[in-house]
Structure 1
C-alpha cells in the first residue's frame, strides 16, 4: 500500500502528467491539497471528479497539518493519492508528510511536476544563478518583520538572483473568531508584486535612516511575475520604485530581485520592460 504525492503543475488540471493521472485513477482515495495555491480553489469539482473517475476530497490546512494521521492510516491498507499544485516538494508540509509516512513504514511514491521554483526561468534569468528563495509576508500595523530582506541582500551582494514568494492568506481566522471557537474565516488575500515592492522600499529607507545603508534601493531592477503557467501569464521588468505602483492583475504573484546579470539575461529582461 502506498501514499502517492502527485504534482498538478501550475496552470490547470490538464497540466498533470500522464503518469500522475494514471496513478491517481488507480488509487482508492484522492485528496486535493487546498491551501498553498489559488489554483486549488479555481478547479471545478465536477471536472476533477470526471478526470479521475471518483470523488476528489478537499484537504484544507487542518486536514493536511492536523489530521494527517487519517491519511496515513488509510495508506496502510490502500493506495492513497494527495494532489498538490505545482510540485509535491514545493511546500515543507508535504516533506513532513513523507517523513511521517516513512516513520510508519508506509511506502511513498512521488510524481513530480512543474513548480514556480523552475518555471521562474521564464523571465530569462538563469536558474543556476539563483540564491536562497525567500518568502515575503504581509505586514500588519503591529507586525512588520524584516528578516527576509537580509536574505535578499545576502544573495544580492554575492551576485545571485532572489525569488521572492509572496504571502497567501487562505482560511485565516480573526483573533476574535479564534478566541470564540467560531469556524468563520476571513476572505482570501493574496499579496501583489506592488505590495511586496512597497515593503522592500520601506525597509531600505528605514535602514538608510538608521545609518545602516542598503544595497537595495528605489532604482534596483526587479521582475514581477503574475499567474506563471496560466494562459494570461504576465512578466514585467522595471525599477523597484516603479514596481511598487504597478498593476500586474489577479494573483498569484512572485517577485525576483536580479543579482549580477549576464548580457543575455539583460537582453531577456529588456523584452519584459514595463512601459509607462
Structure 2
C-alpha cells in the first residue's frame, strides 16, 4: 500500500489526525519538499511528532528513479508532501506509476494553498481562472537572460475574462525562494518588452507564510506592491480580475488595500 499524505501549509502540526495515524502505522515514511515545503518546521520536529524516521527524497528520486516504489508492493509506505496531495502533476504521475506496478494507493488530503488564498484574501474561489507559475530566469547557452513569458500570457487571458489568477512562485535549490517583489518585477519586465498594459495600474495581492499564526496579506496596485516587504517565504501572488463589491471590501479591510478598489468593483 502507498498512501499519499498532504501535510498542510506551514508546520508539523498541520497534518490531519487521519494522516498522523497513517504515518505512525507505516513501515516506511518518505517525503519530498521541492514542489512545496513547510517553512515553520524541519525534519527533526516532524520526526519527533510523528514518531517515525522521515526519508527525504530528491527530485530525481521522485521523477526519474522512483525505485523505492517497489517497497510498497508488500509494505505499508507513506509519501508526504506539503499542501494537499495530488495538486502537483508530479504526484499524479507517481500514483499512476504505482498503479501500473499493481500497488494499491490511498489519498489523505491536507490544507491547500488554493483554498487558503481565498480565505485569507476574501476573493471568491469560483472566480479564479487558470493558475500560473513564475520560474526564475535562466541563461541561454549564449549567455542571454531568458524570462518565461507564459505566466504573463495566462494573467492576460484571465484578466480579459474578468478572472483572478493565482501565481505560484519558483522554489529552486540554487536560486532559493522567489519573492513576490521579484515576481512582479519579472512580469513588468515582460510587459515593458511587449509594450502592453496588462500589469500597470492593476491590483495585486501578496500572501506570505500562509498557515502560520501571523500570515502577511497585502493588496495594492502592482507598482506599489513590488517594493513592499513581505518578509520570510513562502510567498504567493494573486492578480485579481474584475472584483465583486464584497471582494473589493475584503481586500480593503482584510488586506489593507486602497479604497480605489471599491470604486472599480461591480
TM-score using structure 2 length: 0.90
Q: Aligned pair 1:98/2:81, yes or no?
A: no
The equivalent of 1:180 in structure 2 is none
Distance 1:163 1:30 in 2: 31
Q: How many residues are treated as equivalent by the alignment?
A: 251
Q: Aligned pair 1:273/2:256, yes or no?
A: yes
The equivalent of 2:151 in structure 1 is 148
TM alignment of 1:13-24, pairs within 5 A: 13-24=12-23
Structure 1: runs of 5 or more not aligned: 171-185
- Aligned to 1:88, the other structure's residue is in SS state coil
Is the contact between residue 201 and residue 241 of structure 1 (CA under 8 Å) also seen in structure 2? no
Q: Residue 237 of structure 1: which of 219, 240, 257 is its match?
A: 219
TM alignment of 1:104-119, pairs within 5 A: 104-119=101-116
Distance 2:211 2:243 in 1: 24
- Aligned to 2:145, the other structure's residue is in SS state coil
The equivalent of 1:190 in structure 2 is 177
Is the contact between residue 133 and residue 170 of structure 2 (CA under 8 Å) also seen in structure 1? yes
The equivalent of 1:123 in structure 2 is 121
Give the Å deviation of 1:231.
1.8
CA offsets 1:186-240 (integer angstroms, 9 cap, x no match): 3x511111111111112222222xxxx33x1321011011111112310010011
- Aligned to 2:188, the other structure's residue is in SS state helix
Q: Aligned pair 1:37/2:36, yes or no?
A: yes
TM alignment of 1:188-267, pairs within 5 A: 189-208=176-195, 213-214=196-197, 216-267=198-249
CA offsets 1:34-72 (integer angstroms, 9 cap, x no match): 312242x753333322322221111122221223122x1
Give the Å deviation of 1:147.
1.6
TM alignment of 1:168-187, pairs within 5 A: 168-170=171-173, 186=174
Structure 2: runs of 5 or more not aligned: 139-143, 259-266
Q: Residue 157 of structure 1: which of 142, 155, 160 is its match?
A: 160
| RMSD between aligned residues | 1.6
Give the Å deviation of 1:157.
0.4
Is the contact between residue 10 and residue 41 of structure 2 (CA under 8 Å) also seen in structure 1? no
Give the Å deviation of 1:24.
1.1
Is the contact between residue 169 and residue 236 of structure 2 (CA under 8 Å) also seen in structure 1? yes
Q: Residue 78 of structure 2: which of 78, 81, 84 is its match?
A: 81
Is the contact between residue 5 and residue 81 of structure 1 (CA under 8 Å) also seen in structure 2? yes
The equivalent of 2:47 in structure 1 is 49
